[in-house]
Amino acid sequence: MIDIKGETLVTEIRQLDAKGSGQAVVWRENEHGNAKKLKLTIPRTLPGEKVRVTVDQPHRKRRKAIPDEIIHPHSERIEPACPHFNRCGGCVWQHWQYTGQLKQKTNHVKQALESQGFDPNLVKDAIGMEEPWHYRNKMEFTFAPDGALGLHEQGNFRKIISLETCLIAGKEMVEAAMEVADWVKDHQLKGYDKDAHEGLLRHLMVRQSYATGEMMLALFATEAPFLHLEHVVKDLIVRIEKKFPQVKSLLWMENTDWADRTQSEKTHILSGRDFIYDEMVGYRYRLWFDTFFQTNPTQAQKLVELALEMGQPKKSEKMIDLFCGVGTFSLPFASRVAKLAGIEIVETSIQSAKRNAKDNGLSNTYFLAKDARKGIDHVLESFGPPELLLLDPPRSGAGGKVMRRIGRSQPERIVYVSCNPDTFATDLKELVPFGYKLETVQPVDLFPQTYHVEAIALLQRQ
């Protein structure tokens, strides 16, 4: 059937891609009578579902299409709870029962490891949340050119969805963000236009400590909060201090760069201080606007506890924490080993790690701002080989050179924390020639309603 919008097809979802969207294949004949394959990416669908879609430019090899109708739905399909689900690019799995999400995440880790020659039976079932909503302690919202506050539309970086709510963010965080949105509307302030490179407000970052309740609000703007903006900014301060006493850090960040990132050329403290306090497994941390800290504190605590359980740190041992950040894993381990060296390329994170260690009374830590490979060499020279090594690299993984350097340093035990099963598996394979055996893998769901999954593994030197 052909209409002016394209060709309508009925197909079955074979599997999900790396971003959680359904994948389907349709075989069709071209004008010469030859079979031609059309690969479809269909968001908001589940494996095995039969769907009807309208495809524009169906003569192409690959197309993306939104389902017109779910003809035969998956048994675990549910009604999404969020009113923004069909447009927002955040929670792409709200239409899937949580038990189904967890099974898919477990299988993703298994498949990634099996593809690199590991036994998938080493992977345990993913640890989920009792309440998989309102778990995030940090959100970054974006202003549209008309001043509306929201999140990017799915698949369209330039379109902002104006939000009424967000079901994965902490409730108080959403209330504070909506207050800022009302303030912008009342003063008719303009958002930043990415195409014209003009406008005032770019982003709003909200972060809150679940342990202390302290909250940070950081506005990213193209101008300083003075001169003609002074009375407008004063109104914001009054509103926030009156309605949200838990806001201990209200910041105005100047950002004139064309790059669309939450970065600051100059920070203005409107109220309170430029950081908030948070806690995890009994240790206190200072968080600045650019501090990386796990966004799901409930599950992050489980991750740290699992790392301690797998690593079995001993008071007689030396340890390296690679990609240590601000010391999320460093501090709990440091109190259980003789000496700990943390390595991280971001200088501000290392400064924070040093300060956090001091705040918690730890004097056996050494933190170094270097890239991972050079950092290992530097630490080994002055520190000697460690008995225990932990690494928690970014989504891109540690990479072959770093993993081989780890293998040559020969720690007895390696604990690997990952947020990307695919790079996780390829990194682990690099350790096999150095005599390491994968003992166990535990997936942990830090991002319910999304396709992301964390995993933690223990490797022993044979």
Q: Which residues are catalytic?
A: 419
Give the C-alpha distances (Å, rounded to integers) separating 248 from 190, 244, 295, 312, 447: 26, 9, 19, 37, 26
Instruction: Kindly report the backbone phi and psi dihedral angles of residue 4, in degrees, each rounded to the nearest multiple of 5, phi listed first.
Output: -65, -15
Gap between the Cα atoms of 452 and 232, Å rounded? 40
Q: CA nearest 168: which of 126, 132, 208, 217? A: 132
- Contact (CB, 8 A) for 333 and 321: yes
Gap between the Cα atoms of 386 and 416, Å rounded? 15
The DSSP code for 227 is G
Q: What size, in residues, is the chain?
A: 462
Gap between the Cα atoms of 306 and 293, Å rounded? 17
3-state secondary structure of 203: strand
Gap between the Cα atoms of 226 and 204, Å rounded? 18
Structure tokens at 242: 């009156």
Q: Report the amino acid identity of residue 422.
A: D
Sheet harboring 50-55: ordered strands across?
A: 2-3, 6-12, 50-55, 67-72
From the CA atom positions of the chain, what is the Rg in Å?
A: 24
Q: CA nearest 380: which of 461, 338, 320? A: 320
Gap between the Cα atoms of 181 and 201, Å rounded? 11
Signed CA dihedral, 91, 97, 99, 101: sign only: negative
Instruction: Kindly report the backbone phi and psi dihedral angles of residue 158, in degrees, each rounded to the nearest multiple of 5, phi listed first.
Output: -90, -10
Q: Where are the beta strands (DSSP E) in 119-275?
A: 138-143, 149-153, 156-162, 201-208, 215-221, 247-254, 266-272
Q: Report the amino acid identity of residue 392.
A: D
- Contact (CB, 8 A) for 96 and 77: yes
How far from each other are the two terminal CA atoms of the chain, in whole angstroms? Answer: 63
Gap between the Cα atoms of 174 and 149, Å rounded? 11
